[in-house]
């Protein structure tokens, strides 16, 4: 079963936006991985391997005709790029047959059929959003409907079984998307880090659905498209666990949590203390939060002044987190569960998005060198 990252976002709000999701992947927390290097991953960008709108329309018609005659309902495995056309054709039996057993237990063929029928009304085609990404054996693909109102996300395992699929309404917030923080921030660590969640649409960044976390990032380390090596139940197996955390900009520490145990075995989460161990820093009216830190690792206290790059703790797996990672965001107030999230002005004007790797030391987006 795929792992998740944090589930900090208000779960009721997220449930209202999600239609289909696999067991253990609440709020569309689907694994991603080393995707396109370019930052031009907006919804208008079509992946070279994604059929065009006219091709999708033709494929959907062909699939529908095959459905009507009872042909090809389970003929061969669908590739990720084929799923939008199959849904538009109403070929839900073929899709359902390719689901993992866990997913089938959650979603019946009848549920899939009725959900697709109701949500796809008026949709003629889908465009790829950001291309494919892969991590820990799962490939994720996302698409935006031609009317811009519906997102589709799928996750396939190594055997091309559909481990998760989601249809969700899509909202955009162009005013705040264009408004960057006053302070310029560096990444809160050195080395290469993989953007698990980040971007200005809900397919690339599940935080985007909720105002208090809209521009938050979840960051992990990966090697050969894996975020861990060895026993996945142990925190020490994860490349991010124990990595030094650095102040992202000059400021004054306003609050610290440092006594919450790291979750173990990995996958057991702590929803009662969602942020886990954390440090909140005031940067002159803007507040950064670094969450899910390792227990006992925080080296600063409230009132301390810090400069960009100063060590403040270590990456952990505390709070409502399912593996070691960094949740980082900037907001307009110190209560980062209720104040508004601000889109981050990064050093060198980079804007990392889901699936990219960032060289935090040089503030550059780099190609996956694995």
Residue 304 pLDDT more than 50? yes
pLDDT of residue 43: 30
Q: 205-210 — which CB contacts under 8 Å span 24+ positions? A: 205/353, 205/354, 206/9, 206/14, 206/27, 206/28, 206/29, 207/9, 207/329, 207/341, 209/9, 209/13, 209/14, 209/17, 209/171, 210/9, 210/10, 210/13, 210/14
pLDDT of residue 54: 53
Mean pLDDT value across residues 10-36: 33
Better-predicted residue by pLDDT, 26 or 348: 348
For the chain, percent of residues with pLDDT exceeding 70: 79
pLDDT of residue 207: 93
Overall size of the chain counted in residues: 370
Residue 330 pLDDT more than 60? yes
Mean pLDDT value across residues 43-48: 33
Q: Are 339 and 286 in contact (CB under 8 A)?
A: no
pLDDT of residue 280: 98
Task: For residue range 262-271, list pLDDT tens digits in order.
Answer: 999 999 999 9
pLDDT of residue 13: 35
**Least confident range of 28-42, 94-108, 158-172, 321-335:** 28-42
In the structure, what pLDDT confidence band is assigned to residue 211 with cuts at 50, 70 and 90? very high
pLDDT of residue 267: 92
Residue 231's alpha-carbon distances to 273, 328, 351, in angstroms, are: 25, 26, 33
Mean pLDDT value across residues 149-155: 93
pLDDT of residue 26: 29
- Tokens 């935090």: give the residue: 360
Better-predicted residue by pLDDT, 353 or 5: 353
User: CA-CA distance, 74 to 62, in Å (whole number)?
Assistant: 14
In the structure, what pLDDT confidence band is assigned to residue 335 with cuts at 50, 70 and 90? confident
Residue 39 pLDDT more than 70? no
pLDDT of residue 51: 53
- Tokens 């709020």: give the residue: 27
Residue 59 pLDDT more than 60? no
In the structure, what pLDDT confidence band is assigned to residue 122 with cuts at 50, 70 and 90? very high
What SS3 state is found at 237? helix
Residue 327: cis peptide before it, omega within 30 degrees of 0: no
pLDDT of residue 131: 76
**Least confident range of 162-171, 241-250, 278-287, 323-332:** 162-171
Better-predicted residue by pLDDT, 5 or 367: 367
Task: For residue range 177-193, list pLDDT tens digits in order.
Answer: 999 999 999 999 999 99
Over the range 131-153, which residues count as b (16 or more CB within 10 Å of their CB) and which as e?
bbbbbbebbbbbbbbbeeebbbb
Residue 78 pLDDT more than 90? yes
Report the predicted TM-score, pTM, of the whole model to 2 decimal places: 0.81
């Amino acid at each position: 079963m795929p792992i998740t990252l944090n589930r900090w976002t208000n779960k009721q709000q997220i449930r209202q936006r999600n239609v289909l999701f696999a067991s253990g992947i609440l709020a569309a927390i689907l694994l991603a991985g080393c995707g396109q290097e370019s930052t031009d991953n907006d919804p208008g960008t079509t992946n070279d391997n994604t059929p065009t709108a006219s091709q999708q329309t033709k494929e959907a018609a062909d699939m529908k005709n095959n459905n009507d005659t009872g042909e090809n309902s389970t003929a061969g495995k669908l590739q990720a790029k084929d799923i939008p056309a199959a849904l538009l054709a109403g070929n839900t039996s073929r899709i359902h047959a390719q689901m993992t057993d866990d997913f089938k237990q959650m979603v019946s063929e009848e549920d899939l059929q009725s959900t697709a029928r109701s949500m796809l009304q008026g949709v003629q085609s889908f465009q790829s959003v950001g291309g494919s990404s892969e991590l820990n054996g799962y490939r994720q693909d996302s698409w935006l409907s031609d009317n811009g109102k519906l997102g589709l996300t799928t996750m396939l395992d190594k055997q091309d079984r559909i481990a998760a699929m989601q249809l969700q309404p899509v909202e955009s917030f162009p005013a705040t998307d264009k408004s960057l923080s006053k302070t310029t921030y560096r990444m809160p660590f050195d080395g290469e880090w993989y953007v698990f969640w980040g971007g200005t649409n809900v397919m690339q960044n599940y935080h985007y659905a909720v105002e208090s976390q809209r521009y938050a990032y979840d960051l992990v380390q990966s090697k050969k498209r894996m975020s861990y090596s060895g026993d996945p139940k142990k925190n020490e197996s994860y490349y991010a666990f124990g990595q030094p955390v650095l102040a992202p900009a000059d400021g004054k520490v306003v609050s610290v949590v440092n006594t919450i145990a790291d979750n173990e075995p990995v996958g057991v989460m702590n929803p009662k203390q969602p942020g886990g161990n954390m440090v909140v820093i005031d940067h002159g009216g803007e507040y950064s939060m670094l969450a899910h830190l390792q227990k006992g690792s925080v080296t600063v206290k409230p009132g301390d002044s810090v400069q960009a790059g100063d060590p403040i703790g270590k990456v952990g797996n505390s709070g409502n987190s399912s593996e070691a990672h960094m949740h980082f965001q900037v907001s307009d107030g110190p209560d980062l569960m209720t104040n508004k999230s601000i889109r981050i002005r990064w050093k060198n004007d980079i804007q990392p998005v889901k699936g990219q790797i960032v060289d935090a030391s040089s503030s550059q987006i780099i190609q996956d060198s694995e």
